[in-house]
């Protein structure tokens, strides 16, 4: 079934219920997926809308720490319970006598086992960038600051960066927006650092020819101890304005090989680079649908595919003939090295995060949390196959 294209898989799946379920295990969205909004929740969307990208997924539960000037709250959303409801979990802050609580936003979070790590962001009170480093135990909801060993250096203050757990011992941080020393000007970075959870130290990896360019608000995901990076924003060095990044390729860091690689996206006609063209050994050519350039897109893995979903797209004008380009879910088969577009009917345009989960027994879909661009409204919902045999 892995060798069948989407149309063949669709026809094959309609023959009987068993084939439908088998087909869905190999490829999602082969039967016209649709968007289904979830309205049965009561939550102040104005609070969560600017922080949704700071949340983490663990065992079908979404955890989101909201910092206020007084104290933080951890909201959780359990996808296995109906109705889907936000749960308010008060946090107890445990600080040393010489330390103080710092409220932040635009931070980055990752979870290892039952501990959420939160790094950096913008101080809500002073509006200054921060490199505060928190950890939150989701069993007790006790939060404390992490002070790294004296032999280690904490990364510079930043916001709109990413933090990912690469395994049970290490976190990877990439990019973000920093402030030039002694100036008021912001700049986007390509800083790449690894935090060892057990040793409590940061290590830094210097510039490489295959490292992603400087960026902020990019998208990342981890699969098989590989970090994938796509899209984001950049500050134009001339106009000083923020714009969607021009890099449409995927960059990956292999933690085992300690090396960077680049996945080259297809040319406008959908073909791979000419076979007569000699590519570096650490570049991977792909073909299929055009990928485009996006910011605030969800990025995750499903059926050994890398999925890019929604966000703001720089190349909308190239898709006028297709209409509603944000409905296109972009899927990369890592085995076939081929990009595919799957249209999600009714999907609103938004920046978002997403996770693969069951919306009912033995029925998997994609759960999405995001912010609608035109009215700053929080929205949640499922992407499901429209035909349910």
Q: What is the dihedral of CA 316, 317, 320, 321, to 10 degrees?
A: -100
Q: Would you give the distance in Å from CA 72 to the centre of its chain?
A: 23
* Helical (H) or strand (E) element with 7: helix 6-13
Other CB atoms within 10 A of residue 20 CB: 19
* Helical (H) or strand (E) element with 115: strand 115-123
pLDDT in tens, 66-125: 998 889 999 999 998 888 888 999 999 999 888 899 999 999 999 999 999 999 999 999
Residue where the block lists tokens 């190349």: 315
Whole-number pLDDT of residue 361: 79
pLDDT in tens, 68-78: 888 999 999 99
Q: What is the dihedral of CA 169, 256, 109, 361, to 10 degrees?
A: -90
Contact 314, 244 (CB under 8 A): yes
Alpha-carbon distance of 297 to 330, in angstroms, equals: 11
Whole-number pLDDT of residue 317: 47
Closest CA to 292 of 274, 271, 318: 318
Residue 147, token pair as written in the block: 């002070």
Task: Look at strands 142-145 and 92-94 and give their pairing.
Answer: parallel
Q: Does residue 322 carry a pLDDT above 70?
A: no
Q: Does residue 16 carry a pLDDT above 90?
A: no
Tell me the pLDDT band of 24, cut-offs 50, 70 and 90. Answer: low
Contact 176, 189 (CB under 8 A): yes
Tell me the pLDDT band of 359, cut-offs 50, 70 and 90. Answer: confident
Domains in the chain, ordered, with CATH? 6-385 (2.120.10.80)
Burial of 2 (0-12, 13-18, 19+ CB in 10 A): exposed
380 versus 271: the higher-pLDDT residue is 380
pTM assigned to the model: 0.90
369 versus 321: the higher-pLDDT residue is 369
Q: Does residue 313 carry a pLDDT above 50?
A: yes
Alpha-carbon distance of 294 to 217, in angstroms, equals: 10
Tell me the pLDDT band of 17, cut-offs 50, 70 and 90. Answer: low
Mean pLDDT of 127-142: 96
Query: Using the 8-state DSSP alphabet, how is residue 333 labeled?
Result: E
pLDDT in tens, 31-42: 678 999 987 555
Q: Does residue 389 carry a pLDDT above 50?
A: no
SS (H, E, C) 261-287: EEEECCCCCCCCCCCCCCCCCCEEECE
Mean pLDDT of 212-218: 94
pLDDT in tens, 135-192: 999 999 999 999 988 878 999 999 999 999 999 999 999 999 999 876 778 999 999 9
**CB environment 169-200: b (16+ within 10 A), e (fewer):** ebbbbbbbbbbeeeeeebebbbbbbbbebeee
* Helical (H) or strand (E) element with 249: none
48 versus 224: the higher-pLDDT residue is 224
Least confident stretch, 121-130, 157-166, 312-321: 312-321
Task: Write down the mean pLDDT value for the chain.
Answer: 86
- Backbone φ, ψ for residue 53 (5° rounding): -75, -5
Mean pLDDT of 261-277: 78
- Cα–Cα–Cα angle for 214, 219, 315, nearest 5°? 80
47 versus 293: the higher-pLDDT residue is 293
């Amino acid at each position: 079934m892995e060798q069948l294209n989407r149309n063949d898989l669709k026809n094959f799946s309609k023959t009987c219920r068993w084939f439908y379920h088998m087909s869905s295990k190999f490829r999602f969205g082969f039967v016209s997926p649709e968007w289904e909004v979830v309205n049965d929740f009561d939550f102040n969307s104005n609070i969560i809308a600017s922080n949704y990208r700071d949340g983490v997924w663990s065992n079908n539960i979404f955890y989101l720490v909201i910092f206020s000037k007084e104290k933080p709250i951890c909201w959780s959303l359990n996808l296995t319970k109906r109705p889907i409801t936000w749960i308010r979990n008060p946090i107890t802050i445990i600080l040393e006598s010489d330390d103080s609580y710092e409220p932040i936003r635009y931070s980055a979070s990752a979870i290892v086992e039952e501990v959420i790590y939160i790094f950096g962001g913008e101080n809500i009170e002073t509006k200054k960038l921060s490199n505060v480093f928190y950890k939150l135990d989701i069993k007790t909801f006790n939060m404390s600051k992490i002070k790294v060993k004296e032999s280690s250096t904490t990364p510079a203050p930043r916001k709109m960066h990413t933090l990912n757990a690469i395994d049970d011992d290490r976190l990877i941080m990439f990019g973000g927006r920093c402030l030039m020393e002694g100036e008021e000007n912001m700049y986007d970075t390509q800083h790449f650092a690894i935090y060892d959870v057990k040793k409590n130290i940061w290590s830094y990896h210097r510039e490489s020819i295959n490292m992603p360019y400087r960026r902020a608000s990019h998208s990342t995901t981890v699969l098989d101890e590989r970090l994938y990076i796509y899209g984001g924003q950049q500050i134009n060095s001339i106009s000083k304005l923020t714009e969607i990044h021009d890099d449409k390729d995927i960059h990956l860091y292999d933690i085992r090989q300690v090396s960077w690689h680049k996945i080259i996206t297809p040319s406008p006609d959908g073909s791979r680079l000419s076979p007569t063209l000699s590519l570096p050994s650490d570049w991977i050519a792909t073909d299929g649908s055009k990928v485009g350039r996006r910011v605030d897109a969800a990025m995750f893995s499903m059926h050994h595919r890398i999925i890019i979903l929604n966000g703001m797209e720089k190349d909308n004008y190239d898709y006028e003939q297709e209409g509603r380009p944000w409905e296109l879910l972009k899927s990369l088969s890592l085995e076939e090295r081929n990009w595919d577009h799957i249209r999600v009917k009714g999907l609103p345009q938004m920046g978002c995060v997403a996770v693969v989960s069951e919306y009912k027994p033995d029925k998997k879909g994609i759960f999405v949390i995001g912010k609608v661009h035109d009215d700053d409204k929080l929205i949640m919902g499922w992407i499901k196959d429209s035909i349910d045999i």
